[in-house]
Amino acid sequence: MRYIIIGAGAIGGTVGGRLAEAGQEVVLVARGAHRTALAEAGLRLRVPEGELTHRLPVVSGPDELGALRADDVLVLAVKTQDSEAALQAWGPAPVAGGGTAAERLPLVCAQNGVESPRLALRRFRHVYAVCVWLPSTHTEPGVVSAAGTPLTGILHLGRYPHGVDDTARRIAADLEKAHFEAPVVPDVARWQHAKLLSNLGNALEAVSGTVADPSAEALFDRIRAEGAAVLDAAGIAYTGTEEQRAARGDKVTLVPLDGAPRGGGSSWQSLSRGAGSIEADYLNGEIALLGRLHGVPTPLNELLQRLANEFARERKAPGSLPLPELIRLADAAVGAVQAD
């Protein structure tokens, strides 16, 4: 199978580079300065064994590839706020032998949050979702870093909304040759919702810095508890902490990489690159949406959603809101709900 990585950033670049290293045929899809750097100098993938350069085909969209192949796998790895545009572009793309990508090809959503597979299912017949546990960084055009060892990441994979099939097993087998563990599970959404709860801290990290001291950890615990209460009220299943810990063990240990300091997670990286957009609407905003649907107040997640979007829109520096000020705002938001 040929893997077309739609969004060759932190997740997509790492998956694409590792698959290429394992002998798979890979095409990268990127835009702007990142695409230029990939085309001119190749993908520079910094991993514990050193910096690897992969010179791979790079395109900005399906028109540059001509007809897709019947053995292509589309890997959607853009941020969720960019999913709709990508699905619109790739869904109608013709496939050799007849039909379109949306009709014939598997689409694998390798993203944070839970919304993209649902968006994809409106257009694509064969949608697969991935719970991505892959510590990686992309802040410089042409360069992606992934500090995990002995595995680069763990990617729970299954059909969306549920089930397994031979295509999922074949994709998982390729991933497992490429420094990943890829369990094929019939209930991938359960794993994704658990990951959603942990990703609720992305906005906290983006606006006020790494969740490292006890006061930041305590605030994150409150944010996550609010999210868990919403999922419980909505009747949405998610894997528990012990099940996640058992699945991960010590399989992915972060090590320092030469020339690649890890500043923060995906939302922090969006601010660091000055991308102008951020994924908070599909992380904290997912909890806010479900809270409104099921009558559960979500003041902390609403606050973080608003602040993260403000930071992205105004291109503020990541981590520039002092943590004591964020805690004050959080306490005020909760107090306003309680007094209402």
Per-residue model confidence as pLDDT tens digits over 230-258: 999 999 999 999 999 999 999 999 998 87
Name the residue with tokens 């394992």.
Answer: 22
Cα–Cα distance measured from residue 142 to residue 53, given in angstroms and rounded to the nearest whole number: 10
Q: Exposed (0-12), middle (13-18) or buried (19+): which is 276, by Cβ within 10 Å? A: exposed
Terminal C-alpha separation, the chain: 56
Q: Note the pLDDT of residue 198.
A: 95
pLDDT category at 66 given cuts 50, 70, 90 is: confident
Cα–Cα distance measured from residue 6 to residue 27, given in angstroms and rounded to the nearest whole number: 9
Tell me the pTM.
0.95
For range 176-200, the mean pLDDT: 97
Q: Note the pLDDT of residue 195.
A: 97
User: What is the tens place of the pLDDT at every residue in 73-113?
Assistant: 999 999 999 999 999 999 999 999 999 999 999 999 999 99
Q: Note the pLDDT of residue 260.
A: 64
Q: Note the pLDDT of residue 264.
A: 84
Per-position DSSP letters for 263-281, written without gaps between them: ---HHHHHHHHT-S--GGG
* Average pLDDT in the chain: 95
User: What is the tens place of the pLDDT at every residue in 258-313?
Assistant: 766 566 888 989 999 998 999 999 999 999 999 999 999 999 999 999 999 999 99
Q: Note the pLDDT of residue 173.
A: 98
Name the residue with tokens 């932190």.
Answer: 10
- The C-alpha angle 156, 161, 166, rounded to 5 degrees, equals 60
Cα–Cα distance measured from residue 222 to residue 285, given in angstroms and rounded to the nearest whole number: 16
Contact indicator for 46, 36 with CB cutoff of 8 Å: no
Q: Note the pLDDT of residue 340.
A: 78
The residue among 247, 248, 250, 244 whose CA lies nearest residue 224 is 244
User: What is the tens place of the pLDDT at every residue in 18-39?
Assistant: 999 999 999 999 999 999 999 9
Q: Which residues contact 225 (CB under 8 A, 6 or more apart)?
A: none
DSSP H/E element including 291: helix 284-294
DSSP H/E element including 75: strand 72-76
The residue among 138, 132, 136, 179 whose CA lies nearest residue 157 is 132
User: What is the tens place of the pLDDT at every residue in 113-157?
Assistant: 999 999 999 999 999 999 999 999 999 999 999 999 999 999 999
The token pair at 142 is 């042409």
The answer to whether the peptide bond before residue 62 is cis (omega within 30 degrees of 0) is no
Strand pairing of 143-146 and 43-47?
A: parallel
